[in-house]
Amino acid sequence: MSEQLFPETDATVDSIDAETLFEQVEDDDDVTLLDVRASSEYDDWHIDGENVDVANVPYFEFLDDVDDDLLDRVPDGDPVVVVCAKGGASEYIAAQLEDNGFDAVNMDGGMNEWARLYFATEVDADTDATVLQYQRPSSGCLSHMVVSDGEALVADPLREFTDRYVADAADHGAELRYAVDTHIHADHISGARELANEVESVEAAYPQASLDRGAAFDPDVVLEDGDELAVGDVAVQAVFTPGHTTGMTSYLVDDAALFTGDFLFTESVARPDLEDGDEGAPDAARLLYDSLQTLREFDDDVVVAPGHFSDAATPAADGTYTATLGELFDEMSALSMDKEDFVDFVLSDMPSRPANYEDIIATNLGEQDPDADEAFELELGPNNCAASKDAMTE
């Protein structure tokens, strides 16, 4: 329903912005939410947290008589924050609640503004380069930047935040030189090609194995296993790690940090079914197992910086979603299984596929070209790129 269809109200409604609400959730403050989106949208993704009391009552139920039975479904809070998709329905319903004696607050911009929250935190890794992790709380997407001696590289950039990467590089006294993807993403729209098209200094770099899926574009740089990109004083090496996709490639930064994309997370491993479906998943899982075992060749102190985190992930001491290889091999039971047990385990515990994943893949292959608003809508919701949202630790 468009915002102009909601009746006017005389009530004065206070508001809270998405970043302030996020800080309250992160600080484990008591937060009470009434999410008034359709139940299907709420089930797909909503704001949650240790001390968050949230209820879902679709907005259309407030368009008729607001009786005691309906009001009894509104959670008690001081205040209760009302949330919708864009902020229109929630403002109207917050006003109705105020008229009925509640202390109600509207979340400005709704879940769309929640999806625009984006934070950068420095990764503690054994390198003189600055390594930043970008966190998108709404979807669990992670991107990374390396800055060294006046140059910068961004890995797995999101199209929604391309201006941010350029500005952050400049804030660190650097020029953005490379935008690289670990693979053809299924959960968000890549910003690598847009950065290369819009920023003269930037070259888009893709693994050849990813392009072999049928990419309808030619990147500035094509990477094979073992190739290196020089970023200031450090080398960023392409490390072929197929399994999640046939082209999945990690990036080793100065022998200190490994950007693993959707290959290995701090709480789980990749799902193997998004490229060739259920039929191809067993073979992809075996390939994933072999790739994971090659990581034993690296030093235990190498910091794994993945492309996503889930509710099961615990931040490291520096506030990033990272862990050393030694920690993951010690703690993640899936990495110690034999191959067939690993395959059975991974295939037995996969969540639903990411929303709109086929259109997102087609966009990232260059087969579709949605505008900015369409691209933003496509990637709303959880990433679901891990084999399981439950921790695989012992």
DSSP string computed for 138-155:
TTTEEEEEEEETTEEEEE
pLDDT of residue 391: 43
Based on the domain organization, do 130 and 98 belong to the same domain? no
Q: For residue 67, what are the domain limits?
A: 3-114
**Segments of the chain scoring below 50 in pLDDT:** 1-4, 389, 391, 393-394
Establish if 383 belongs to a structural domain: no
CA 186/CA 363 separation, integer angstroms: 9
Based on the domain organization, do 101 and 183 belong to the same domain? no
Establish if 281 belongs to a structural domain: yes
Establish if 391 belongs to a structural domain: no
Based on the domain organization, do 235 and 147 belong to the same domain? yes
Establish if 390 belongs to a structural domain: no
**389 φ/ψ angles, rounded to the nearest 5 degrees:** -90, -5
Based on the domain organization, do 155 and 91 belong to the same domain? no
CA 380/CA 394 separation, integer angstroms: 32
Query: How far is the first Cα of the chain from the last one, in angstroms, to the nearest whole number?
Result: 47
CA 265/CA 350 separation, integer angstroms: 14
Based on the domain organization, do 263 and 188 belong to the same domain? yes
Distance set, CA 45 to CA 80, 182, 355 (Å): 19, 25, 11
| Token pair for 14 | 């206070």
pLDDT of residue 381: 80
Based on the domain organization, do 32 and 165 belong to the same domain? no
pLDDT of residue 275: 87
Based on the domain organization, do 202 and 224 belong to the same domain? yes
Establish if 178 belongs to a structural domain: yes
Establish if 392 belongs to a structural domain: no
Establish if 278 belongs to a structural domain: yes
Domain boundary among 91, 114, 137: 114
Global confidence as pTM:
0.93
Based on the domain organization, do 214 and 282 belong to the same domain? yes
Instruction: Look up the CATH number of the domain holding residue 370.
Output: 3.60.15.10
pLDDT of residue 312: 85
Based on the domain organization, do 207 and 345 belong to the same domain? yes
**17 φ/ψ angles, rounded to the nearest 5 degrees:** -90, 165
Q: What angle do CA 368, 373, 377 make, to 5 degrees?
A: 80
CB atoms within 10 A of CB 343: 20
Based on the domain organization, do 107 and 132 belong to the same domain? no
Q: Please report, as a single letter, which amino acid is at residue 307.
A: G
Establish if 37 belongs to a structural domain: yes
Based on the domain organization, do 144 and 105 belong to the same domain? no
CA 155/CA 377 separation, integer angstroms: 22
Domain boundary among 114, 134, 153: 114
Q: What angle do CA 236, 160, 205 make, to 5 degrees?
A: 25
Instruction: Look up the CATH number of the domain holding residue 94.
Output: 3.40.250.10
Domain boundary among 64, 81, 114: 114
**Overall domain count for the chain:** 2
| Token pair for 187 | 């959960």
Based on the domain organization, do 218 and 319 belong to the same domain? yes
